[in-house]
Amino acid sequence: MSNILWLLAAALAGAVVAGAVMAWRWRRWQHQHNEQVDARIQSYNLELQIALDELAEKNRLLEQQNMLDTLSGIFNRACFDKRLTNELKRSRREKTTLGLVFIDIDHFKKINDTHGHLAGDAAIQQIAGILAASLKRSSDAAFRYGGEEFALLLPGTELAGCIELAEHVRQKISSTPIQIGQLSLAVTLSAGCYAAVADASTSSNDYIAAADSALYQAKHQGRNRTASASAIVTPITQESAHES
């Protein structure tokens, strides 16, 4: 009888040990499995984050390309409209002055008629490069507004600062002929400046009309000069619109 009890006890102990071993192996396998799953999840998350970062970068580059003028390499008119709207909101919110400069190549039609459109394109490209290089702050921006006309958007800049920058660019262009192949082409610019703190009633058109009015004054006064608009702006009519 004692032998039978001993055998039963031994069998039971063996079963307990076997069960403990199996439980240990199960926990070990489960732990390793969980580690593998966690590692795979981390790997998938890393790959997903890399893919999302690459997609975001591609979208950023695509958006940037859509904002650039293909000929001049600086920002285009669509970007100007968007940036002007945003800067007006900032000026209104922070009570800071927003400056705007319109710049036009004098007698541009004559350049095209005399030297060809390739010469006109080269003039636009070189002047755009000079405009962009003349900006000192990351918040400032140069745009090709249309045709031979450019715009400089200068947040936090008073009228005197706008005039100073416009004069710097104008004098640099007038004193340095533009090289187009073997052709050395004398080019001048006219500029119109405006600066103000936006209020609740101010719109983008108010700024554009003011800077354009000043540009018309510079053209009317003989070109190759800078003019500024007063706070009270007279909209330009179709009859008084300036010629290049």
Superfamily of structural domain 77-228: Reverse transcriptase/Diguanylate cyclase domain (3.30.70.270)
The alpha carbon of residue 172 and the mean position of all alpha carbons in its chain are separated, in whole angstroms, by: 26
Selecting among 35, 47, 148, 167, the annotated active-site residue is 148
3-state helix, strand, coil in the chain (%, to 5): 60, 15, 25
What per-residue confidence (pLDDT) applies to 137?
93
CA distances from 193 to 3, 58, 139, 157 (A): 112, 36, 18, 11
Burial of 226 (0-12, 13-18, 19+ CB in 10 A): buried
Domain boundaries, the chain: 1-66, 77-228
Tell me 235's DSSP state: P
Burial of 16 (0-12, 13-18, 19+ CB in 10 A): exposed
What per-residue confidence (pLDDT) applies to 156?
96
CA distances from 199 to 129, 137, 146 (A): 33, 24, 27
What per-residue confidence (pLDDT) applies to 22?
77
Burial of 148 (0-12, 13-18, 19+ CB in 10 A): buried
Residues 6+ apart with CB under 8 A from 76: 67, 68, 69, 143, 144
Residues 6+ apart with CB under 8 A from 145: 77, 80, 102, 151
What per-residue confidence (pLDDT) applies to 241?
39
Is 148 an active-site residue?
yes
What per-residue confidence (pLDDT) applies to 1?
59
What per-residue confidence (pLDDT) applies to 94?
95
pLDDT-flagged residues of the chain (< 70) = 1-21, 37-39, 44, 48, 51-65, 230-244
Contact between 166 and 211 under an 8 Å Cβ cutoff? The reply is no
